[in-house]
Amino acid sequence: MRLMEWIFTDPLAQLTLLASVSGAALAMLIVRKVMTRGRSPRWQVIAYVALGFAIFAAPCGYFWHQITVRNAPTGPLLHSNPQVTFKTTSGKDVPLASLRGKVVLLDFWASWCAPCRRSSPAIAQMQKDFGTDLVTIGISVDDSEEECRKALVGPRPAYDVFDRGQYLRWAFRVGPVPQFVVLTRTGEVDAVETGWEPASAERLQAAVRRNLAATVSTAVTQNP
């Protein structure tokens, strides 16, 4: 069940699956070519399958390398527990482990992203509405910290972070921005929302409420 959930919710898993299937097909064709002493299949067929394998395997290998060198979760992102430390733009280090007992909402954004600018006030308002049991963290994936700081205007979340070296982006496997990640009271990934539309705020609020309703003792019991 967990494997199927991973495949359907994680693009990296889908890419890995395609690379594995095409690689297996290529191996089978080569074996058949050897066993039939070159009579079948045609070399063109093998060449096309090899091209398909390369198309899937190259980015797959690159993505896995980026994840492993950053010690990010390599299994299903949902229900995983990344061990990271957030360094805020004010210079404060905030380990994710120190937020245990609170629900955390991560907001991955960039200064050039128009939907990100529309979502920021809503995330800041959620921090006000839900109070101290919710911790909102805005994570900039801009190329430079200067671009990030110039965009820190208007209502902001509890913490602002510049993702130097894209470490956090790879740790949480964030693709397009904006992307939002809701973490449980025990630090596990519970929900992921990509993009911003009117219904996005409602879905995020529902995920936050669901996790706030779980007491700390219940969460710890379920995830020892």
| Residue-level pLDDT, tens digit, the chain, 224 residues | 455 665 666 777 778 888 899 999 999 999 998 989 888 888 999 999 999 999 989 988 887 887 777 777 666 676 678 889 999 999 999 999 999 999 999 999 999 999 999 999 999 999 999 999 999 999 999 999 999 999 999 999 999 999 998 889 888 888 889 999 999 999 999 999 999 998 999 999 999 999 999 865 455 444 54
Q: How many CA atoms does the CB half-sphere of 126 hold within 13 Å?
A: 29
Q: Would you state the pLDDT for residue 216? A: 57
Report in angstroms the alpha-carbon separations of 130 from 22, 58, 69, 125, 186. 48, 44, 36, 9, 18
Q: State the pairing for strand pair 179-183/103-109.
A: antiparallel
CB 177 within 8 A of CB 168: no
CA-CA distance, 103 to 88, in Å (whole number)? 18
Nearest by Cα to 172 from 70, 65, 82: 82
Return the H-helix or E-strand segment holding 160. Answer: strand 159-162
Nearest by Cα to 186 from 104, 106, 126, 86: 104
Beta-bridge mates of residue 93: 87
Q: Would you state the pLDDT for residue 166? A: 87
Q: Would you state the pLDDT for residue 159? A: 97
